[in-house]
Structure 1
Amino acid sequence: MFKTILEDIDAVFERDPAARSRIEVALCYPGVHAIIFYRVAHALWRVEWYLFARWISQVARFLTGIEIHPGAAIGRRLFIDHGMGVVIGETAEIGDDVTIYQGVTLGGVSLDAGKRHPTLEDGVIVGSGAAVLGPFTVGRNARVGSNAVVLKAVAAGATVVGIPAKPVGPQAVSDKEMKFPAYGVWPGVAADPVSRALERACMQMDALEARVAELERMAVERGGDEVDYGRTGTHN
């Protein structure tokens, strides 16, 4: 467990340029504190000390503002940045090297006792305020934009934004100094898909209007009359 906690601390250095030392991370990062509490509570949960495990998770919630159910399955090097308001449900599953920002909910929409929370595979990033709701999978290296509401499975490598969330195409992790897009999307890249569709429709309308105007001009030059689109029928 201690090796895993050290990996959680080291993961902060890879994904937060504000981190200056391991001591600073251990003392000042509530996301790290919440994960430490979770790992202790989860160990107790696995040996069926359910009440004690839940009590520890509630202490962690009081101290950090992050609520992680001890029954959740969390992999290595999870980074919860800022963290306030994060909620991770009982049957949620999180892979390795996942990043979660403040206000994220990994929630369930069913009262069934079985699997009802999402699964995040390795390398997933969930932006601030996003809600991932239901027992589906967010694929490896997928990106969930800030304030998105995800209600169905997300393909590996895809980026989803909006309410409900829709894909805006794959965005590979950068090999540059910034190794991942903060909050799940690169600035200015993942516009809302509905807005993009409306923008394309407006561009097509402008092109059609220009084409109609050109055809009318050609008709007038050939001796015809300009078409009156404000009346029924055509007058020659």
Structure 2
Amino acid sequence: MFNGLKSYLDSIRARDPAPRSRWEILLYPGVLAVGLHRIAHWLFEAKLYFLARFVNHFSRILTAIDIHPGATIGKNFFIDHGFTVIGETAEIGDNVTIYQCVTLGGTNPTNGQGGKRHPTLEDHVIIGSGAQIIGPITLGERSRVGASAVVMEDVPAGATMVGFKARSTLVPAEEWIKEFIPYGTTPDCEDADGNRVDCIEKLEGELAVMRAEIAELKSGASQTPEQTAFDLDPKKSGTGN
């Protein structure tokens, strides 16, 4: 048990440069919340639902993190800071990292039954600050979700999702399979030829192309209705007999 706790604390220290010792990590709200959830989940599986909820509410008051007792959590789960909500049917794999203000939320069942309604996070997933992961979707192994993104569809393994509604940055997964990427956001995108470019530069280039196309359309439609009628009238244009 002690070796397991030591390994867990070391896994957090590898992802967070702030703590100076394992003792300091023990005071992290995310660590306390996960520890109390282990107790609440054991009570939930024993069908001691009131006690499980009691531990859950105590943990929420103490840490500002709300993890439903029914949620399934793997090894080395790290919630950096707090204010996170994790729903009842959420499933979290090993070595998952979640930053502050993240929601693993559910959708309303359409058939009147509860069922699976919260996300599944596979191993080594990273969720950035403020991201909202909604519904019974699956985030593949080593996928990343950028800060404040909203994800409502399955995410392929190794993909990075950004934006509202989240879209793929199309960064090749095989080039970004790393042990850990802080906040789950890669800095680069690709152009049409597959060359790596800065995402802002890529967007500015696409915007310039769109502006040129709009200007061309406007120049083609610059004739007034009177000019168009004149061109179409063979008598006025001098082309008629």
Q: TM-score range by the shorter chain?
A: 0.7 to 0.9
Q: 1:120 to 1:230 in 2, by over 3 A?
A: same
Whether the 8 Å CA contact 1:8–1:79 is kept in 2: the answer is no
* Contact 1:92 1:118 (C-alpha < 8 Å) held by counterparts: yes
CA contact (8 A) 1:4 1:76 kept: no
* CA spacing shift, 1:182–1:45, aligned 2, 3 Å: same
User: CA separation in 1, counterparts of 2:204 and 2:116?
Assistant: 38
Q: Percent identity?
A: 47
TM-score, normalised by the number of residues in structure 2 = 0.77
Deviation at 1:201, TM superposition (A): 4.6
The normalised TM-score by structure 1 is 0.79
For the 8 Å contact 1:4–1:77, the answer to whether it is kept is: no
SS in 2 for 1:54: helix
Q: Is the 8 A contact 1:5 1:36 kept in 2?
A: no
Secondary structure in structure 2 of the residue aligned to 1:91: coil
Which letter maps to 2:208? C
TM-aligned CA deviation for residue 5 of structure 1:
3.9
Amino acid in the other structure paired with 1:90: E
Pairwise CA distance, 1:3 = 5.1
Q: CA contact under 8 A between 2:145 and 2:162: conserved in structure 1?
A: yes
Distance 1:9 1:38 in 2: 16
Match of 1:13, as an amino acid?
A: R
Structure 1 runs (4+) greater than 6 angstroms displaced:
207-210
Q: 2:29 corresponds to which letter in structure 1?
A: P
Q: CA–CA distance in 2 between the matches of 1:25 and 1:88?
A: 21
Q: Distance in 1 between matches of 2:137 and 2:31?
A: 26
One-letter code aligned to 2:121 = L
Cα displacement (A) at 1:203: 3.1
SS at match of 1:169: coil
Where does the alignment leave 5 or more consecutive residues of structure 2 unmatched?
Answer: 191-196, 232-241
Within-5 A mapping of 1:11-160: 11-27=11-27, 29-83=28-82, 85-111=83-109, 112-160=113-161
**3-state SS of the aligned residue for 2:117?**
coil
Task: State how many pairs are aligned.
Answer: 211
Q: CA deviation at 1:204?
A: 6.1
**What whole-Å deviation, never above 9, does each CA across 1:47-93 have from its counterpart, x for those lacking one?**
1111101110110000000000111000000111012x100000000
| Partners of 2:71 and 2:91 within 8 A in 1 | yes
- Whether the 8 Å CA contact 2:97–2:125 is kept in 1: the answer is yes
Q: Following the alignment from structure 1 to structure 2, what is the Cα–Cα distance between the partners of residues 136 and 64?
A: 27
- The one-letter amino acid of 2:132's match is A
Instruction: Report Cα offsets for 1:179-223 as digits up to 9, x if no partner.
Output: 5222110356699x999567415236549989xxxxxxxxxxxxx
Q: What are the ranges of 5 or more consecutive residues in structure 1 without an aligned counterpart?
A: 211-226
The residue number in structure 2 matching 1:214 is: none
